[in-house]
Amino acid sequence: MLTKFESKSNRVKGLAFHPKRPWILASLHNGSIQWWDYRMGTLLDRFDEHEVRAVAFHPSQPLFVSGGDDYKLRVWNHKQRRCLFTLHGHLDFVRTVQFHHEAPWIVSASDDYTIRIWNWQSRSCLAVLTGHHHYVMSAFFHPSEDLIVSASYDFTIRARAGAIGMGGMGMGGMNQQAGGMSAFNAPGGPLGGRSGPDTNNPGTGADLFGTSDAVVKYVLEGHDKCVNWAQFHPTLPLIVSGGDDRQIKIWRMSETKAWEVDTFRGHFNNVSATLFHPRAELILSAAEDKTIRVWDMSKRVVAQTFRREHDRFWVLVAHPHINLFAAGHDSGLIVFKLERERPAMHLHQTSLVYVKDKHLCTYDIATGAEASGALVKRGSGVQPSPRTLSYNPTERLAAVTVAVPGTQGNDGAMVQVYSMDRGQEEPIKLSGHAAVFVARNRLAVLDKAAGVINLYDTRGTKLKDMRLANGATEMFYAGIGKVLVSTGTAVELWDVQQGVQVGELGNVNNVKYAVFSADMTQVALLSKHVITLANAHTLQQLAVVHETIRVKSAVFDGAVLVYTTLNHIKYALPNGDNGILCTLDHPLYLVHVAGDHVLALSRDQKMLKLRVDGTEYRFKLALILREYNQVLHIIQNANLLGQSIIAYLQKKGYPDVALHFVQDPATRLDLALECGQLDAALAAAESLASASSGPTASSSAAWTRLAKAATRQGNVLLAELAMQKVKNLAGLSLLYLVTGQQEKLAKMLAIAQHRGDAMAQMHNAVLLGSVEDRARVLAEAGLTSLAWLTCQTHGLTGVNVADVQGAVNKVRGDKEPELLNWPVVETNQGYFAASSGVPVDPAVAQVASAAAATMAAGGAAAASAATADDVWGGAAANASEQQPADEADWGFDLDIPTVPVAGNTPGAISGSVSPTAGAASSTASDLTAALSSLPAPGPNKKSSWIRSGANVRALDHIVAGSFDTAMAVLSRTTGISHFAALRPAFLTAHAAAAAHLPTGTGGSLEVAVSRNWADTSDPLKSQAVVPVTVESVLGGLAAEAGKLTMQATRVPEALEMWRAALHALALIADDPAAMPHVATMREQVEAAGTDARRNVELAVYFAQAELDPAHARLAGGYLVLAAHFARRLLDMNPPPTVAQRCTQLIALADAQPPNPDLPPVDFDPFNPLPVCAASMEAVHGAHVGKCRFCKAAYKPEFAGSVCVVCLVAVVVA
């Protein structure tokens, strides 16, 4: 059983599949109806209007019907998500309901001993079928004929039919009047029927099945207890039934009679439901013994059994069109299928080999020719389809992997090697989970249980085996002599001939399939919901694509992966971007993609050819690869429209390309502002303004955004124009202030005065520096005291308030201001705008030229106008009045080349060249010249510090900020390989090589400091400062650590300080003078890091370390071997108090005999041994491991581990 969906809920009593959509209805024991999307695993809705027991979808209409314990049937519309109407008539629980496949009928079975036929269109009861003497447990229509079968608690099964047409109930009468069913509901009719409550309704008087009466055609007796379920075979004249006697019976029908064919026994409790497999000779049954059993009709045996531990099964249904089943149990429902439906196939160049109808078939992609080959042998009963197939074109052999019957979960498998020659009778059988041909006469077979890859020849002779350290779950072909192995959490690349692992990609879980590109350079690893793209040779991960539904198959189209999910054909680019090509009705398994044609296999092994438009992913791939000529060709010849393309181009940083796909002015404005094309943005804003009769919110917002963008780019003329369009008076005042346009500031003051805006007048007067106007505004506002104080403050003494307006004292600069746009780097707008094949929109060019002419004309002509609308004056000063910037003013800036300021050209709008400038000289063949490029920045000091030279050290790279090269130098010269612990030392040294000057508003300004600053100002000759020296370490960190070591309670702090000093020396370890001190720091770290719990041995090792005399005396005070170390202390000439104590300890030790009860100490004072820094034990023997950097001693078993002393290097034996 392959579980596709499972839900947790109350007991499920009824289920119904939707015939087309991936939906299932479940009626719960608590009275609710759950509507699930089993493909996505989501609950779509819940209906709680009555106590429901049975549900059914309509075959074609957006309807479903429910019957419940409230004796009612309700018809629902799932689009409107509401109940349409209720059918009344039953007098007890409704057990089952079903729609007719063609007629507007519903059949329902009830505990009131009756079956009712309803017309859901006229909302009336057409017939009441009686005859059963107990509860009617189920009633169903025949899939194609006019028959009804019912199962009852009276131990019988009844089949009812009309008497017209082919021995069954014909549809002739229904075609005349579908609502009629008088033969069923006529009182005293041949079925013993009785009148229902709706027998007098219009439309119920016509004959249901034609002109003849309906009769009980068969009464089937054979069950010993009540019958719970009976159902027709989809195509054969068979009925299957199951009941409380724990038996399943098959009945055959003829024209005149029906009889029992066979009985299946095996359930240990009541059989709740049973049905025929729609497309196989199988019967499925669900029972209260907590099992679902699959019965082989031909062998009359149980083929498979699926058991739950605690849940009884109550209902079982089959999907009408696909191989899915659903079962309801005590705690929810389960949707499942019996076997895998993925076809086993292998594509070699243009030849496809696959399994179809138990035969090996070949299909030529080029010609479409198909041929059948050897028969794939499968045992009797339920046999899973072949899982994988590997083809050997040289020997014409196919290795087919099939699941072993009877194994739980199909974990067991067998490999069968067939010859494509029909004459072969028996295949070569090998035990294994997967098999691939890795050479002309070599077959690799994976034994998953043993974790071994066995290598066979084509005759099945085992040649060698290769054990996998991490086990394996799947194996895939990876080129000649190589295989990919999935371990469940990673993928490994193995060379089968050499028996070695040559690559690994971690964090790739449960890979099910591997797909390689045609040139074997890329591989796609397919998991359940994840696709991992990687390099096929190194297994370096390129991208990861996540899907919400299951990934089914994939093939490469060049560098693009085309793959299928349950309902889509999609694509994935090498950078991980993906999209949808088309929607699928049913899952397909891709075989080959060429151009816009896709070849795929369906689940019934039919070859399908589909046409999809791959222009979108080819366009995106060309952008990624920067093949701009291909991009231009697609733009000119393809119809790429839609918001997705525009959004993709914006996201990937190509708004200039997106401009070619957009006509909407609002969208063009967004794209133009994003890519900095102010002329295009101006045209879009003009279009928005002209589209409306007057100012609107959208046009005002457009001009505001354009003003901000122009201000950021320093385009004063365009910013002024945009602010004038929206009458942004405050913005214009600030613009005139920062550009020094005093005359226009005076105009702004006049405008504010004309509008009567006192606050605006005051602001403009302050910005203008006019004391007279400030005093006047205050006086006009009635603030005479403030006006007088303003005059007094600025030296306007002797002026009366009444004469304030006559006083003049304006503050002016010494230099007359000039209106200039900012100088910008002159760049081309891009290959696409410059290409002659993509002309600029004439309307855009016309609007831009007109706007440029207007702004260049100046505003002096309207300066004297009296009205508020005319007082604006010109949009800008006359362009002829602009003077080019002094070239010497920009000479000091190495990053910005000297360019003339645009003046009389239309390109002056954006402060740079026009997008169409130089278009005639740019062609598709000259990509390099047409692409946008910025000038290279000038040299800086730090870049000169790491230029190649004999005296460049690792510290020079660190202070220059080139940490990667510094790490490479240290790794090569000192053996340091773990740099995480050196991060603080790196950052400290880097920060010490620069001075940081605080600024007024932004962050600090960093200035590189060189040690030869007094000798030269040339940055190319600058030399890095040396922030770390041996003297600075010994006088700083080491000295502070020594002080802390003397304090017994601060030894942990001393340990960190000693290690910091050791890390500081690591930065200058390439200096020969530093290495002796590295050994000293190592000894101090080892001594400070000893474990106090080992009071005896560690005290010995502490004293054994070559410490300073003061530190050694401190260590000696804690040693147990008092006599030995007291003598050593006396040899160091300690202070008198320490010497006296040592003498006492020696006398005490000499006076007392040795204590045999003391534990032995692993220390020989006459033969000192090196101490392992990791275990703190003496290292015996000649083989001593050493740290590559600090040379700390280790036992041989610690080889390969990181040194615990310095934390930056590994131990070598």
pLDDT tens digits, residue range 439-449?
A: 988 999 999 88
**What whole-number distance in Å separates Cα of residue 96 and Cα of residue 366?**
53
Examine the pLDDT at 175 and tell me if it is beyond 50.
Answer: no
Given this chain, do its domains 2-162+211-336 and 345-511 carry the same CATH topology? yes
For the chain, what is the mean pLDDT?
77
Q: Are 510 and 529 in contact (CB under 8 A)?
A: no
**What whole-number distance in Å separates Cα of residue 256 and Cα of residue 233?**
18
pLDDT of residue 39: 86
Of the given ranges (656-660, 1057-1061, 1087-1091), which has the lowest mean pLDDT?
1087-1091
Residue 513 — very low, low, confident or very high, per pLDDT cuts 50/70/90?
very high
* Count, residues in the chain: 1213
Rounded average pLDDT over 94-121: 92
pLDDT tens digits along 858-915: 333 333 333 333 333 333 333 333 333 333 333 333 333 333 333 333 333 333 333 3
**What whole-number distance in Å separates Cα of residue 908 and Cα of residue 713?**
12
And the tokens for 675?
């890519």
Higher pLDDT, 676 or 122: 122
Fold (CATH) for 639-803? 1.25.40
Q: How far is CA 185 from CA 110, 164, 175, 176, 231, in A?
A: 17, 18, 19, 18, 24
Q: Is 356 exposed, middle or buried (0-12, 13-18, 19+ CB in 10 A)?
A: buried
pLDDT of residue 198: 40
**What whole-number distance in Å separates Cα of residue 900 and Cα of residue 825?**
10
And the tokens for 472?
């394996």
Sign of CA dihedral 1121, 1124, 1129, 1135: positive
Q: Which residues pair with 301 in a beta bridge?
A: 296
pLDDT tens digits along 1164-1175: 665 567 888 877
pLDDT of residue 862: 35
* Percent over 70 (pLDDT), the chain: 75
Neighbours of 1161 (CB within 10 A): 13
Fold (CATH) for 2-162+211-336? Methylamine Dehydrogenase; Chain H (2.130.10)
Q: Tell me, what DSSP letter sits at residue 1038?
A: I
Q: Are 711 and 703 in contact (CB under 8 A)?
A: no
Q: Are 153 and 231 in contact (CB under 8 A)?
A: no
**What whole-number distance in Å separates Cα of residue 1069 and Cα of residue 964?**
17
**What whole-number distance in Å separates Cα of residue 565 and Cα of residue 588?**
8
Examine the pLDDT at 196 and tell me if it is beyond 90.
Answer: no
Place of tokens 């549900």: 55
**What whole-number distance in Å separates Cα of residue 239 and Cα of residue 30?**
32
Q: Is 148 helix (H, G, I), strand (E, B) or coil?
A: strand
Q: Tell me, what DSSP letter sits at residue 1205?
A: T
Q: Which of 669, 665, 641 is nearest to 655 (CA)?
A: 669
Strand residues in 258-320 grouped as ranges (E): 258-265, 271-276, 282-287, 291-296, 301-307, 313-318
And the tokens for 1078?
């590295």
Residue 1133 — very low, low, confident or very high, per pLDDT cuts 50/70/90?
confident
Of the given ranges (336-350, 632-646, 1058-1072), which has the lowest mean pLDDT?
632-646
Q: Which of 562, 567, 499 is nearest to 531 (CA)?
A: 562
pLDDT tens digits along 463-488: 898 898 888 889 999 999 999 999 98
pLDDT of residue 1121: 60
Q: Which residues pair with 456 in a beta bridge?
A: 443, 462
Q: Is 1018 helix (H, G, I), strand (E, B) or coil?
A: coil
Beta-strand pair 136-141/124-129:
unpaired
**What whole-number distance in Å separates Cα of residue 301 and Cα of residue 991?**
81
pLDDT of residue 378: 64
Examine the pLDDT at 11 and tell me if it is beyond 60.
Answer: yes
Domain 345-511 has CATH 3.40.605.10: no
Domain extent listing, the chain: 2-162+211-336, 345-511, 547-638, 639-803, 1073-1212
Q: Tell me, what DSSP letter sits at residue 344?
A: P
And the tokens for 629?
């000529």
Element (DSSP H or E) covering residue 98: strand 94-99
Q: Tell me, what DSSP letter sits at residue 656?
A: H
pLDDT of residue 1017: 67
pLDDT of residue 437: 93
pLDDT of residue 16: 95
pLDDT tens digits along 250-298: 999 988 888 999 999 999 999 999 999 988 889 999 999 999 999 988 8
Q: Which of 528, 515, 521, 600 is nearest to 561 (CA)?
A: 515
Q: How far is CA 458 from CA 429, 627, 969, in A?
A: 11, 47, 53
Examine the pLDDT at 80 and tell me if it is beyond 50.
Answer: yes
Q: Tell me, what DSSP letter sits at residue 520?
A: S
pLDDT tens digits along 316-365: 999 998 889 999 999 999 999 888 888 889 998 888 998 887 788 889 88
Q: Cα Rg for the chain, rounded, in angstroms?
A: 45
CA 546 to mean position of chain CA atoms: 4
**What whole-number distance in Å separates Cα of residue 1203 and Cα of residue 1066?**
14
pLDDT of residue 701: 86
Element (DSSP H or E) covering residue 6: strand 2-8
pLDDT tens digits along 849-873: 333 333 333 333 333 333 333 333 3
pLDDT of residue 1097: 55
Higher pLDDT, 913 or 635: 635
Higher pLDDT, 1080 or 798: 1080
Sign of CA dihedral 536, 541, 545, 550: positive
Question: Rounded to 5 degrees, what angle do the CA atoms 139, 144, 147 make?
Answer: 40
**What whole-number distance in Å separates Cα of residue 3 and Cα of residue 21?**
18
Exposed e or buried b per residue across 783-795, where buried means at least 16 C-beta atoms within 10 angstroms of its C-beta? eeeebbebbeeee
Examine the pLDDT at 1066 and tell me if it is beyond 70.
Answer: yes
Fold (CATH) for 547-638? Thrombin, subunit H (2.40.10)
Examine the pLDDT at 495 and tell me if it is beyond 80.
Answer: yes
**What whole-number distance in Å separates Cα of residue 1018 and Cα of residue 860?**
49
